[in-house]
Amino acid sequence: MSEKKQKAKVIMVQGTMSNAGKSFLVAGLCRVFMQDGYRTAPFKSQNMALNSYITKDGLEIGRAQAMQAEAAGIEPTVEMNPILLKPTSNVGSQVIVNGEVLGNMKAMDYYANKRQLIPEIEKAFGKLSDEYDIIVIEGAGSPAEINLKENDIVNMGMARIAEAPVLLCGDIDRGGVFASLYGTVKLLEPEEQAMIKGLIINKFRGDVEILKPGLQMIEEKTGIPVVGVVPMTPLDIDDEDSLSDRLTHTERKGVIDLAVVRLPHISNFTDFNVFERMDGVSLRYAGSAGELGAPDLIFLPGTKNTMDDLAWLRESGMEAAILRLSEQKVPVVGICGGYQMLGELLEDPDSVEHGGSMRGMGLLHTKTVFSRAKTRTQIQGRINPDSTCGEFAGLEVQGYEIHMGRTEKTGDCQETIYLEDGRLDGISNPEGTVFGTYLHGIFDYGDLAAMTVSRLMRKKGIDPRNWHFDPEEHKRREYDKLADLVRSSLDMDRIYEILEAGITC
């Protein structure tokens, strides 16, 4: 670490396991500190996720850090997540450093060489430290993965770099929380144990009075105080990865039924979360033709392996089901990899994904050619005012691109979205029932999502005039609810004391 005096106060949230609620706790603390008047930023040195986000300067970071920055009321930047790993297989990932692709690496090769990336982590953290009052750091998985501890750069290794006091959280909803907290602490080195300044029980259901004897015993056994018990509370905040419970939603509840095809390598499924927030709408994930049923609209999402997932669509019978529904004029919307699948042909001359060529679904007269160059941009555009898009014509849209390939028209299609840099993005069929775009997050801004649902309502004879949804206002309310939950569940006076004292307390 540089000898330059660290400006920001630092606190770190680690977990006893993946999906223990670290991302939400970090977001909640960011929101609380922001409300209390501090310039606050999130940080995660290394993230592994297929859900990613493009910053305003065209750099790629984990979606969770973008969400946490949003909770803190700041613009996401690449320094908040200097290393992003996007799995390409069970044993390898695309390695992204400072927002740009370093290359594809097998897990063994990456773990053997990742300590060489520590200067990049220190540089990113140092820049945030110069610009903010408080940095809230998120760990990954568990700090007690004893086979990985030697070269750790994301849990206790990062805590040492940042000289950060640690809050360790455990998920009581999955059971064994006291064993997981105790075992995690005791598998760490004595100096690492001393850096843990508080324990948090997360996702608790029931009467906390029943839990209190256990809290006292875990404090006695570890010598670390419990600084909070966070109840299981429904909050509508974007999840990070495929561990999300959202992907198991298969039931139809609303009068408008939207189905997302659950591809094997699905990515950026947060593109559709906005629809879950709408009254009268059910958003569900279909992993088979039987689960797909007869929805009002089908979404084909992004994927890290377009050609492999297209082959799965074909082999599983899902493609045939989608084609049959499309013939019945059920709208089909593809984003990124899903957009590429909708075309007539996919070519991969450089073996970026699969190699060779593959027939597409044929719902759009387009061809996609994959290339090694990765398009990364955050951009605005406008739906073609001269198109047959009805009430959508002329609507302003925005989102971000993350793709390796170019899609071009090969026949009769509508040019649907014109981007501010002069490029064409969206393409639809002449009838306007099949639409594709590279823009992730296109439904998160403005009225596009609400207008889409309103059109489906009218198609079913439902009057949408008294129905309205504001996604930005909804997000603000949910972040404030998260901050209220953190304030009421954690001993914030103690948290501030830990923050002020650092690792010396």
In this structure, what CATH number is given to the domain that contains residue 136?
3.40.50.300
Q: Which residue has the higher pLDDT, 245 or 157?
A: 157
Q: How many domains does the chain divide into?
A: 2
Q: Is there a single domain that holds both residue 427 and residue 486?
A: no
Q: Is there a single domain that holds both residue 230 and residue 133?
A: yes
Name the DSSP class of 183.
Answer: H
Q: Is there a single domain that holds both residue 115 and residue 226?
A: yes
Share of the chain above pLDDT 90, in %: 69
Please report the pLDDT score of residue 49 as a whole number: 85
Q: In whole angstroms, what separates CA 478 from the centre of its chain?
A: 16
User: Per DSSP, which regions of 360-486 are E strands?
Assistant: 366-369, 375-383, 396-403, 406-409, 414-415, 417-419, 427-428, 434-437
Secondary structure tally for the chain: helices H, strands E? 16, 28
Q: Is the pLDDT of residue 190 over 90?
A: yes
pTM of the predicted model over 0.85: no
Please report the pLDDT score of residue 330 as a whole number: 97
Question: Would you say residue 468 lies in a domain?
Answer: no
> Per-residue b/e over 152-189, b at no fewer than 16 CB within 10 Å?
bbbbbbbbbbbebbbbbbbbbeeeebbebbbebbeebe
pLDDT category at 1 given cuts 50, 70, 90 is very low
Q: Is the pLDDT of residue 209 over 50?
A: yes
Q: Is the pLDDT of residue 351 over 80?
A: yes
Lowest mean per-residue pLDDT among 34-48, 377-391, 419-433: 377-391
Q: Is there a single domain that holds both residue 42 and residue 85?
A: yes
Active site residues: 336, 440
Q: Is the pLDDT of residue 83 over 60?
A: yes
Question: Would you say residue 248 lies in a domain?
Answer: no
Question: Would you say residue 262 lies in a domain?
Answer: yes
Name the DSSP class of 413.
Answer: -
Q: Is there a single domain that holds both residue 25 and residue 121?
A: yes
- Token representation of residue 107: 């897990």
Mean pLDDT of 188-201: 96
Question: Would you say residue 312 lies in a domain?
Answer: yes
- Token representation of residue 491: 């001993």
Question: Would you say residue 466 lies in a domain?
Answer: no
Q: Is there a single domain that holds both residue 292 and residue 384?
A: yes
Q: Is there a single domain that holds both residue 33 and residue 94?
A: yes
Please report the pLDDT score of residue 260 as a whole number: 96
pLDDT category at 373 given cuts 50, 70, 90 is confident
Average pLDDT of the chain is: 91
- Token representation of residue 28: 């909640």
Phi, psi of 275 (to 5 degrees): -70, -25
Please report the pLDDT score of residue 149 as a whole number: 83
- Token representation of residue 35: 């409300």
Q: Is there a single domain that holds both residue 482 and residue 457?
A: no
Q: Give per-residue pLDDT as tens, 439-468.
A: 999 999 888 999 999 999 999 898 887 777
Q: Is there a single domain that holds both residue 178 and residue 282?
A: no
Nearest 10 degrees: Cα torsion 210, 216, 222, 226: 80
Please report the pLDDT score of residue 401 as a whole number: 93
Q: Is the pLDDT of residue 470 over 90?
A: no
C-beta neighbour count of 146 within 10 angstroms: 10
Can you say whether residue 141 is alpha, beta or left, with left for phi > 0 and alpha for psi between -120 and 50 degrees? left
Lowest mean per-residue pLDDT among 2-11, 73-82, 231-240, 492-501: 2-11
Please report the pLDDT score of residue 353 as a whole number: 84
Q: Is the pLDDT of residue 7 over 50?
A: yes
What is the CATH number for 290?
3.40.50.880
Please report the pLDDT score of residue 392 as a whole number: 85
Q: Is the pLDDT of residue 416 over 80?
A: yes
> Per-residue b/e over 375-388, b at no fewer than 16 CB within 10 Å?
bbbbbebebbeebe
Nearest C-alpha neighbor of 52 from the set 66, 63, 44 = 63
Question: Would you say residue 177 lies in a domain?
Answer: yes
87 strand-pairing partners: 93
Q: Is there a single domain that holds both residue 159 and residue 304?
A: no
Please report the pLDDT score of residue 216 as a whole number: 96
Share of the chain above pLDDT 70, in %: 95
**Which range of residues forms the domain containing residue 387?**
256-461
Please report the pLDDT score of residue 113 as a whole number: 83
Please report the pLDDT score of residue 105 as a whole number: 87
| Rounded distance between C-alpha atoms, residue 330 and residue 294, angstroms | 8
Q: Give per-residue pLDDT as tens, 231-250.
A: 999 888 876 554 456 666 66
Please report the pLDDT score of residue 162 as a whole number: 96
Please report the pLDDT score of residue 242 as a whole number: 44
Helix or strand (DSSP H, E) at 455: helix 448-459
Q: Is there a single domain that holds both residue 79 and residue 118?
A: yes
| Rounded distance between C-alpha atoms, residue 180 and residue 322, angstroms | 45
Please report the pLDDT score of residue 246 as a whole number: 61
| Rounded distance between C-alpha atoms, residue 104 and residue 92, angstroms | 7
- Contact criterion met (CB below 8 Å) for 91 and 107: yes
Phi, psi of 136 (to 5 degrees): -105, 115
Q: Give per-residue pLDDT as tens, 88-140.
A: 777 678 899 999 988 888 888 888 888 899 999 999 999 999 999 999 999 99
Mean pLDDT of 21-29: 95
| Rounded distance between C-alpha atoms, residue 26 and residue 156, angstroms | 17
Helices assigned H by DSSP within 205-332: 208-222, 273-276, 289-292, 306-316, 318-327
Question: Would you say residue 493 lies in a domain?
Answer: yes
Q: Is there a single domain that holds both residue 28 and residue 141?
A: yes
Q: Is the pLDDT of residue 2 over 70?
A: no
| Rounded distance between C-alpha atoms, residue 366 and residue 419, angstroms | 18
Question: Would you say residue 233 lies in a domain?
Answer: yes
| Rounded distance between C-alpha atoms, residue 361 and residue 91, angstroms | 30
